[in-house]
Amino acid sequence: MTEAEFSGAMRVLAGLLEARTGQQLAANRMWRIETAMKPLLRAQNIANLEDLVSRLLSGDERHLLDAAVDAMLNNESSFFRDLSTFGMIERELLPHLAASGKQTVRIWCAGCSTGQEALSIAMLIRKYPEHWSGCRVQILATDISSSVIARARSGLYSQMEVQRGLGINDLLRWFEPAGDDWQASRDLLDLIDYRVDNLLEPLVPPFHYDLILCRNVLLYFSVELRRKVFDNLVSLAAADGHLILGAGETVMGQTDDFVASRDFRGSYERRIIHPAQMRTGSAGGLR
């Protein structure tokens, strides 16, 4: 395969990724495609990327298209990723939600990958049962990849995965050995509803979520698609709901619907629309 053909095949695959998920691969990240596709090429006995693209463009192999898109997604995750964020969640935000007087507190982990983030939240909930007396907690965890959702539902993690962010006390308390792997307890998994879903066209249960975590997902979207995602998130956020993004992500220049929280550093809250703004129509893009 010539260099031009190789680049052409990668561009087609990057285009398929964007069309299916909204995620964009920068030119300097195109090398990831070759690395990501090697296992799929071997498993399907396909000689090279050009042959893979030819089969995909025939339109007759939906399972192969799904597998190719799954392979290109960045499913990087770890337990308690970003300790400062999880420290704030544990010490401040979750106690605030527990004291809100709501009968049900709903939490949504959007772009949950293989489930470590949702399980980290579940561990913090189970760690303080006294906080949640008389209050039910529901955790929804979604991702566009059916394969990573299947892994998340299994609750099974390798030794390397549990060593990334999970302390020995939490490991022994919440996981059981399963051969060479570790199995998350039912007590955690029963808190979480894992679903395949697309942030650009979400089909999640139409509740108002008190806490939404959408971390390290929007980095891969264009500005236009980020705005669309924010529109979807605000439509599903409770009036007093909170949003947490990744360390390199912000609402600035993307949406007027969320503003930096005055009380919880590192989180965002719904922008308050005052009655005077509603009467004068000066609430900007807010609905």
pTM reported for the whole predicted model: 0.81
* Strand order across the beta sheet in which 136-143 lies: 192-196, 136-143, 104-110, 209-214, 237-245, 268-270, 258-260
Does residue 199 lie within any of the structural domains? yes
Residue 58 CB-half CA count within 13 A: 10
Counted domains in the chain: 2
Question: In terms of domains, do 160 and 34 share one?
Answer: no
Question: Where among 53, 72, 91 does a domain terminate?
Answer: 72
Question: In terms of domains, do 203 and 241 share one?
Answer: yes
Question: In terms of domains, do 14 and 88 share one?
Answer: no
Question: In terms of domains, do 93 and 152 share one?
Answer: yes
Question: In terms of domains, do 241 and 267 share one?
Answer: yes
CATH label of the domain that carries residue 114: 3.40.50.150
Query: Could you report the per-residue pLDDT of 70-107, keeping only the tens digit for each?
Result: 777 777 789 999 999 999 999 999 999 999 999 999 99
**Banded pLDDT at 124 (limits 50, 70, 90):** very high
Query: Could you report the per-residue pLDDT of 8-38, keeping only the tens digit for each?
Result: 888 888 887 777 777 777 676 777 788 878 8
Does residue 285 lie within any of the structural domains? no
Question: In terms of domains, do 66 and 99 share one?
Answer: no
Question: In terms of domains, do 217 and 144 share one?
Answer: yes
Residue position matching structure tokens 């980020």:
226
Question: In terms of domains, do 13 and 131 share one?
Answer: no
In the predicted model, what is the mean pLDDT of residues 160-176? 95
Domain limits at 112? 83-275
Question: In terms of domains, do 99 and 38 share one?
Answer: no
Pick the closest to residue 236 from 106, 97, 101, 88 (CA basis). 106
Question: In terms of domains, do 151 and 255 share one?
Answer: yes
Given this model, what pLDDT does residue 273 score?
60
Query: Could you report the per-residue pLDDT of 237-259, keeping only the tens digit for each?
Result: 999 999 999 988 999 889 999 99
Question: In terms of domains, do 133 and 247 share one?
Answer: yes
- Helices (H) then strands (E): counts for the chain: 13, 10
Question: In terms of domains, do 64 and 39 share one?
Answer: yes
